[in-house]
Amino acid sequence: MITGGHIAASYLLTQTATYFGYPISPVEIMQVIVAGNIVDVDFLTGMVTGKTGEAHHQNITHTPFGTLIIWGVLLLILRPTIVVAVLLLLSLLLHLVLDDIGYWMYKLKLITLVTNPQINWLYPFRAYHKNKLIMGNVEVIRFYFLKAWPVALMETILIIAALFVFLKQ
């Protein structure tokens, strides 16, 4: 999934808390949205390390272990309420789930396109897979919109839903 979907998912996550009676301030909403996207900081470091395209998902930040470290740092810096702390963690983990959605759609036979797992859910207990990855960022975007279009469509629907919720308020 690309940035728009991660922003939309994190925003909708904050709105579910509000729906259940836990009002979230605009600053806290932004914190949760940033948490839902901070995992992709490895995209920038990938330009130096050579892990671009799909390979940026083979960094520690794209593992549950890495997200727990990021969450701990966020807790120290932000000192959030318990509700926001939970939302921060859920937003980080939701990022991983969304990045792996194409793989799970294939495994569940919802799409026929063969995809590799993007997330190493058992790191550091299991090594990263050695399957061929798309290395170029432009090639990843092309693949995403032209071949993995069900995932792109799902992301578009997610963005439209978030915009609808936002504009409704």
Q: How far is CA 53 from CA 13, 29, 49, 132, in A?
A: 27, 29, 12, 12
Question: b/e per residue, 21-58, with b = 16+ CB within 10 A?
Answer: ebebeeebbebbbebbbbbbebbeebeeeebbbbbbbb
Does 88 or 52 have the greater pLDDT score?
A: 88
- Taking 80 as the threshold, does the pLDDT of residue 115 lie above it? no
Closest CA to 32 of 77, 92, 82: 92
Rounded CA-CA distance 17/23 in Å is 7
User: Looking at 10-24, 60-74, 126-140, which range is the least confident one?
Assistant: 126-140
Residue 135: the pLDDT is: 61
- Taking 90 as the threshold, does the pLDDT of residue 160 lie above it? yes
Rounded CA-CA distance 36/55 in Å is 19
- Taking 70 as the threshold, does the pLDDT of residue 50 lie above it? no
Average pLDDT over the chain reads: 85
Residue 122: the pLDDT is: 85
Residue 61: the pLDDT is: 84
